[in-house]
Chain A
């Protein structure tokens, strides 16, 4: 932490006057509800008795952890968990790679600003709006008329048969991920581009003088140097993907095998609060490693200040 100017006088309560509104609101709206949610996740749908009350004789039962049994073993939930895993494995690296590619390409042209604005623009609009945009791309006309969705029109134009992108499993999951990549590549590009611009020119030149070609310079010099930034972007993307909700909600509603954790949590929020809360707890549990690594990185940066 930055050191205080020692000569500045302060009253004993001054800091707390400045802090009070913020601490109060965060306590009421983040800390208390989080703890409350954990308690609720051990109770049944009425939130008045232990979740163990839901157990049926002769069926598997985890006692007070009954909601977690649902959240971890029910077919609906295993589908959601495996879909989130699929998003993590495929969509996160694809988005980071796309962002890096954009950052590298845009640096080489004169219309860098324009190109970046175009890639970045989806960040300004809502996920719901993005869902509408892409539903329009993926539309299928099942009747006699021409295809009005661009993708199916291209497929038909090339002599293929129209595809029901949103209801064909597992294809629909990949089509949803494309929407996610479209939304977030701009974020990755902006941050990676700033890191690339911050690279010391001498190092790159030295590598080139030593006879490294472009490919080698990129992998052996640039990537290791911007690795910390790649890690930051990737962890942010992991959080985004774990929380992915709006896109799925508006495009498929989680049907046809596209369910994700956050959407299942939303569906159960009124009808089965206990289970819904257990899903929320699993969501935050998945994020805790990232939380810890962020705090560690922060502490390290503070020491270097």
Chain B
């Protein structure tokens, strides 16, 4: 074989590979960013980009600190034992930069606190510098300064629904159960209704029955549409194709009014039935196309062997339709798990994961670190389902929208 030809082929393949790798990178980087951030501590998430996770940590205020303070207090702030700047108790006295400025204006041992260099004479300029110094002192006194700053505390905070200014683990470690009235610092915190732990349980309680119910009911109807003869079979099925498109926005208010009247608002059975109702048109459509394409001879010979429809359904149609049922199950599972609108309207008293994430969003944006953990907690189960059953998921998608 001509060596130039294969070389030529390699060169021609470069643009394709380059383009594809670039696009894959674009697709994966946003998720990767959130994933990396979910393991970084609060201070790192707030002050530096996730891509700096492996680089030497340049902490805000480090240069200012070494210019003005390091000569006496030492690079780690602990050179003077009685004013140990890595001691949280000392730092806690100066939460604002002007407090620090006032402190610096007091003489130490009869001499001015800052000798060389002195702060700029413009008070605004010196306050800006001191703000950074303060920031650095805070980072000295927290765990943020050690190692890469990787931690599981975001996940802990998200699971228990911690909304304080520190972290759940720190609060519990320093002051135990007195840390706050809300937390007991034991396993029961995982069930705090404001946390992702309770929401995870709610999501499972919503999703599993909604999925099983739709499969069971759709299988019966699909068998009837495929192998039974009745009036209106044709147009009823055509109607079903149309119903697949009805947006659920069309049904929210009437259903929630009925639910309010009969006391089914905020009940699990209410949301199961709603999800089942909306899953059925697609589910019946998918299963009927599959069951209807099974060879008719097997049904005929079963009948000749004395089987009735119930036995043909249970012993033939159901087992043979397993691949389609798997597709449908995964579809419905992911759809219900990831739903936000229905859960928000019908089950806000027992928030599922998606609803809980929106509850955790702080309008001031001060709890990003918790959201990173919360989002990934909500991804774990659908990701497992998705990657374990990807084949069936793709099949279901193809059958639903193309084959017809």
A245 within 8 A of B: yes
* Chain A: minimal CB distance from B381 (Å): 10
B83 within 8 A of A: no
16 contacts between A and B (CB under 8 A): A18-B221, A22-B217, A30-B246, A30-B278, A40-B253, A40-B254, A105-B20, A119-B23, A125-B338, A132-B371, A187-B397, A239-B247, A273-B253, A283-B249, A287-B245, A291-B242
Q: Collect the chain A residues with CB atoms within 8 Å of residue B339's CB.
A: 126
Residue on B nearest A152 in the bound complex, by CB: B49
Q: Collect the chain A residues with CB atoms within 8 Å of residue B46's CB.
A: 148
Q: Collect the chain B residues with CB atoms within 8 Å of residue A218's CB.
A: none
Docked pose: A153 CA to B276 CA in angstroms: 45
Query: Contact: A301 with B241, CB < 8 Å?
Result: no
A150 within 8 A of B: yes
Query: Contact: B277 with A25, CB < 8 Å?
Result: yes
* Chain A: minimal CB distance from B91 (Å): 19
B115 within 8 A of A: no
Q: Collect the chain B residues with CB atoms within 8 Å of residue A146's CB.
A: 47-49, 60
Query: Contact: A229 with B243, CB < 8 Å?
Result: no
A34 within 8 A of B: yes
Q: Collect the chain A residues with CB atoms within 8 Å of residue B238's CB.
A: 295, 298-299
B54 within 8 A of A: no
Contact of B386 among A29, A115, A124 (CB under 8 A): A124
A182 within 8 A of B: yes
Query: Contact: A195 with B402, CB < 8 Å?
Result: yes
* Chain A: minimal CB distance from B369 (Å): 11
B404 within 8 A of A: yes
A9 within 8 A of B: yes
A269 within 8 A of B: yes
Q: Mark A134-160, 1 if CB is under 8 A from B, else 0.
A: 101101000011111110010000000
Within 8 A of A (CB), among B108-134: 128, 131-132
Docked pose: A150 CA to B53 CA in angstroms: 13
Interfacial residues, chain B to chain A (CB-CB below 8 A) = 13, 16-17, 19-20, 23-24, 27-31, 33-34, 37, 45-51, 60, 128, 131-132, 217-218, 220-221, 223-230, 233-234, 237-238, 241-247, 249-255, 273-274, 276-278, 280-281, 284, 292-293, 296, 299-300, 303-304, 308-309, 312-313, 334, 337-341, 345, 353-354, 357-358, 361, 368, 371-372, 374-375, 378-379, 382-383, 385-387, 390, 394, 397-398, 401-402, 404
Q: Is the interface of B mostly helix, strand, loop or mixed?
A: helix
Query: Contact: B249 with A243, CB < 8 Å?
Result: yes
Residue on B nearest A297 in the bound complex, by CB: B404
Q: Which of B299, B358, B401 has the most CB of A within 10 A?
A: B401
Q: Collect the chain A residues with CB atoms within 8 Å of residue B404's CB.
A: 297-298, 301-302
Q: 7 smallest A-B Cβ distances: which pairs?
A: A29-B277, A33-B251, A126-B338, A124-B386, A22-B221, A15-B230, A18-B224
Query: Contact: B401 with A191, CB < 8 Å?
Result: yes
Docked pose: A118 CA to B390 CA in angstroms: 12
Query: Contact: A276 with B253, CB < 8 Å?
Result: yes
A277 within 8 A of B: yes
Q: Mark A268-288, 1 if CB is under 8 A from B, else 0.
A: 010001001100110110010
A26 within 8 A of B: yes
Q: Collect the chain B residues with CB atoms within 8 Å of residue A233's CB.
A: 401
* Chain B: minimal CB distance from A198 (Å): 10
* Chain B: minimal CB distance from A88 (Å): 15
Docked pose: A7 CA to B300 CA in angstroms: 7
A: number of interface residues (CB 8 Å): 103
A129 within 8 A of B: yes
Within 8 A of B (CB), among A85-143: 101-102, 105-106, 108-109, 115, 117-129, 132-134, 136-137, 139
Within 8 A of B (CB), among A146-198: 146-150, 153, 182, 185, 187, 190-191, 194-195
Q: Collect the chain B residues with CB atoms within 8 Å of residue A150's CB.
A: 29-30, 33, 49-51
Q: Collect the chain A residues with CB atoms within 8 Å of residue B254's CB.
A: 32-33, 36-37, 40
A5 within 8 A of B: yes
Residue on A nearest B281 in the bound complex, by CB: A26
Q: Collect the chain A residues with CB atoms within 8 Å of residue B29's CB.
A: 150
Q: Collect the chain A residues with CB atoms within 8 Å of residue B304's CB.
A: 7
Query: Contact: B230 with A190, CB < 8 Å?
Result: no
Q: Collect the chain B residues with CB atoms within 8 Å of residue A25's CB.
A: 217, 273, 276-277, 280
A2 within 8 A of B: yes
A217 within 8 A of B: no
Docked pose: A298 CA to B244 CA in angstroms: 13
Residue on B nearest A299 in the bound complex, by CB: B238
A57 within 8 A of B: no
A56 within 8 A of B: no
A16 within 8 A of B: yes
Q: Collect the chain A residues with CB atoms within 8 Å of residue B394's CB.
A: 190, 194
Query: Contact: B398 with A190, CB < 8 Å?
Result: yes
Residue on B nearest A34 in the bound complex, by CB: B250
Besides A25-B217, A26-B243, A148-B48, 20 other A-B contacts (C-beta < 8 A): A2-B226, A3-B296, A5-B303, A30-B278, A101-B23, A102-B23, A118-B27, A119-B24, A182-B30, A191-B401, A232-B402, A236-B401, A246-B354, A249-B358, A250-B358, A269-B253, A283-B249, A291-B245, A294-B244, A295-B238
* Chain B: minimal CB distance from A124 (Å): 4
Query: Contact: B354 with A129, CB < 8 Å?
Result: yes
